Amino acid sequence: MRRWFKRILPNHEVVRDNRWLRPFRNTLLHPRLWHINRRSVSAGVAIGLWCGLIPGPFQMLTAAFLCVLFRANLPVAVFTTLYTNPFTIPVIYFAAFQIGSFLLGRENGGFQPAPEWGEQSLREWMDQAFAWVASLGTPLFLGLFVLASTLAIAGYFLVRAWWRWHLVHQWRRRRSRRRMATTSLAPKK
Q: Between 84 and 112, name the one with better pLDDT.
A: 84
Q: Could you tell me if residue 115 is inside a domain?
A: no
- Give the span between the Cα atoms of 185 and 42, in whole angstroms: 41
Q: How many CB atoms lie within 10 A of CB 35?
A: 15
Our CA angle for 69, 73, 75, nearest 5°, is: 115
pTM of the complete model: 0.71
Tell me if 43 sits within 8 A of 72, measured CB to CB. Answer: yes
CA 61 to centroid of chain Cα atoms: 13
Contact (Cβ atoms closer than 8 angstroms) between residue 52 and residue 59: yes
Residue 82 has pLDDT above 70, yes or no: yes
**pLDDT tens string 92-147:** 888 998 899 899 887 655 566 666 767 777 787 778 777 776 777 888 889 999 99
Q: Look at residue 146 in the predicted model and tell me its pLDDT.
A: 96
Q: Is 59 buried (19+), middle (13-18) or exposed (0-12) by CB count in 10 A?
A: buried
**What is the per-residue pLDDT across 137-175, written as a single tens digit (0 to 9) for each?**
888 889 999 999 999 999 999 999 999 999 999 999 988
Q: Domain of 91?
A: 2-110+121-185
Q: Does 186 score more than 80 pLDDT?
A: no
Entry field: residues in the chain = 189
In this prediction, residue 45 carries a pLDDT of 95
pLDDT at 105: 84
- 68 contacts: CB under 8 Å, gap ≥ 6: 27, 28, 30, 33, 74
Number of domains in the chain: 1
